[in-house]
Amino acid sequence: MDEEYEVIVLGTGLKECILSGLLSVDGVKVLHMDRNDYYGGESTSLNLNQLWKKFRGEEKAPEHLGASRDYNVDMMPKFMMGNGKLVRTLIHTDVTKYLSFKAVDGSYVFVKGKQATVSSSLGNRGRMYELEADNGDDSTSCDDYEFCPRGKLEWPSSGDD
């Protein structure tokens, strides 16, 4: 490992990774470090043991849940518009050698402890979907979120319907 760097980037969140990539593409000598035993900052994806340790404080999840490596839990949704600025920046930094882009059929999201399904829909975009905002009774249309411009939010049946 080299002893001298022009820039040291601390953290491996999306912003830090993009900054590090842009600098290195421009020929800057970058050392990129993270204090965690995983990369990705707040937008990381954790395997089962990492998830268990983060939220339960225990090193390993119970064996009956299966192999830890079979789990990949996103700490926040990671949807990008196909031709947005972020995608163009990722292509420019040449990180596309290490990742792939894929169309997503659907996603499962927990909002205030309840599971919601965000799926694509070509139907009426009216008020068929709403997300309750974190700050109380305000409602936010799904149109406000880039990840589901033509989607609908379906709440699972509680059995009491």
Q: Return the domain boundaries, the chain.
A: 1-102, 103-161
10, β-bridge pairs: 33
Contacts of 49 by beta carbon, 8 Å cutoff, 6+ apart: 59, 60, 61, 68
Closest by alpha carbon to 96, among 106, 86, 107? 86
Cα–Cα distances (Å) from 18 to 6, 28, 69, 116, in that order, read 17, 13, 26, 30
pTM of the full structure:
0.45
Rounded CA-CA distance 15/76 in Å is: 14
In whole angstroms, give the CA distance from residue 113 to residue 29: 44
pLDDT at 9: 94
In angstroms, rounded to a whole number, what is the distance separating the alpha carbons of residues 90 and 120?
Answer: 25
Domain 1-102 has CATH 3.50.50.60: yes
Q: Is the pLDDT of residue 7 over 90?
A: yes
Res 47 pLDDT > 70 = yes
Average pLDDT, the chain: 71
Rounded CA-CA distance 119/116 in Å is 10
